Amino acid sequence: MKVKKRKILLVEDEAVLREALRDWLVDDGYDVDVAESGEEALDRIKKKDFGFIVLDLRLPGVDGLHVFEEAKDVKPEIKGVIITAYPSKETQEKAKEIGLLDYLPKPFKIEDLEKIISGALEEVGARKLKEKHVWLELGAVSFRLCTRNYECGHCAFAQDIQDRFGTISVIGEDEVAKLKQLPGSQRFCRYTSVHFVKKEKPDLVSG
């Protein structure tokens, strides 16, 4: 008998990342609902039965840690994981203290998140993820302001993030031309958004 995968709530205010994660998990067979804020997430949790919740740490209004604490009061059996572009020892310890199963700094591989979810829900049988030949690498988020008029070749930050996160895509030249017309306080770095790239999944060869 085929095991039905339980409903997941994904709480993420970054639209690109939210849609990418939702589509991937739906494609893997999960029933995924989404929320953009802590308040919206809590409202959904009170009305629906979720087996697992994926929470961004920084959310509009109530943060991810508080959302999970509130969720546990409503549904004590619910399990969850925090994802964040702003990891810290303090929030990681808090996440463990309140019972979150894991704490994933961005960027992370989608397969790592899926393993946490499937393990938490104690699913059995072959998973569609094992049948895939691609994986998803999620990029980093930067909300820095550009201080070099988009001359990225002379920017240490741009070089550093490219070295560390090779999957990041930059904003195109047409968009940069528009950004240059904005006041300095609105000229965000070309690495403003989350980007994702599907790659060939390497074959695992056993000896």
CATH of the domain at 46: 3.40.50.2300
Asked whether 17 and 138 are in contact (CB, 8 A), the reply is yes
Residues 17 and 116 in one domain: yes
Asked whether 145 and 184 are in contact (CB, 8 A), the reply is yes
In a domain, residue 207? The reply is no
Tokens of 9: 């709530």
| Segment 15-69, tens digit of pLDDT | 888 888 888 888 888 899 999 999 999 999 999 989 899 999 999 888 999 999 9
Q: Phi-psi category of 12—alpha, beta or left, where left has phi over 0 and alpha has psi -120 to 50?
A: beta
Burial class (CB in 10 A: 0-12, 13-18, 19+), 74: exposed
Confidence of residue 206 (pLDDT cuts 50, 70, 90): very low
Q: Which residue in this structure is represented by tokens 């949790």?
A: 45
Residues 95 and 120 in one domain: yes
For residues 150 and 172, give the distance between their C-alpha atoms in angstroms, rounded to a whole number: 11
Total count of domains within the chain: 2
Residues 178 and 124 in one domain: no
In a domain, residue 154? The reply is yes
In whole numbers, what is the pLDDT of the chain averaged over residues? Answer: 76
In a domain, residue 2? The reply is no
- Residue with the bigger pLDDT between 129 and 104: it is 104
Asked whether 70 and 28 are in contact (CB, 8 A), the reply is no
Q: Which of 129, 150, 185 is the last residue of a domain?
A: 129
Give pLDDT, residue 194.
43
Confidence of residue 178 (pLDDT cuts 50, 70, 90): confident
Cite the DSSP H helix spans in 9-155.
Answer: 15-27, 38-47, 64-74, 89-97, 110-120, 128-131
Tell me the pTM. 0.59
| Segment 81-108, tens digit of pLDDT | 999 988 899 999 999 999 999 999 887 8
- What is the domain extent for residue 90? 7-129
In a domain, residue 206? The reply is no
In a domain, residue 43? The reply is yes
In a domain, residue 114? The reply is yes
Residues 68 and 152 in one domain: no
Residues 146 and 107 in one domain: no
Give pLDDT, residue 124.
34
> Given a cut of 90, is residue 183 above it in pLDDT?
no
**In what side-by-side order are the strands of the sheet with 52-56?**
31-35, 7-11, 52-56, 79-84, 102-105
Residues 177 and 124 in one domain: no
For residues 5 and 206, give the distance between their C-alpha atoms in angstroms, rounded to a whole number: 30
Cα separation of the two ends of the chain: 34
Asked whether 118 and 93 are in contact (CB, 8 A), the reply is no
Residues 96 and 170 in one domain: no
Give pLDDT, residue 60.
86
Confidence of residue 128 (pLDDT cuts 50, 70, 90): very low
Q: Which residue in this structure is represented by tokens 């929470």?
A: 55
Residues 86 and 16 in one domain: yes
Interval 69-82 mean pLDDT: 92
Give pLDDT, residue 36.
93
Give pLDDT, residue 191.
63
Q: Which of 129, 147, 163 is the last residue of a domain?
A: 129
Residues 104 and 172 in one domain: no
Rounded to 10 deg, the angle between the 15-27 and 110-120 helix axes is 60
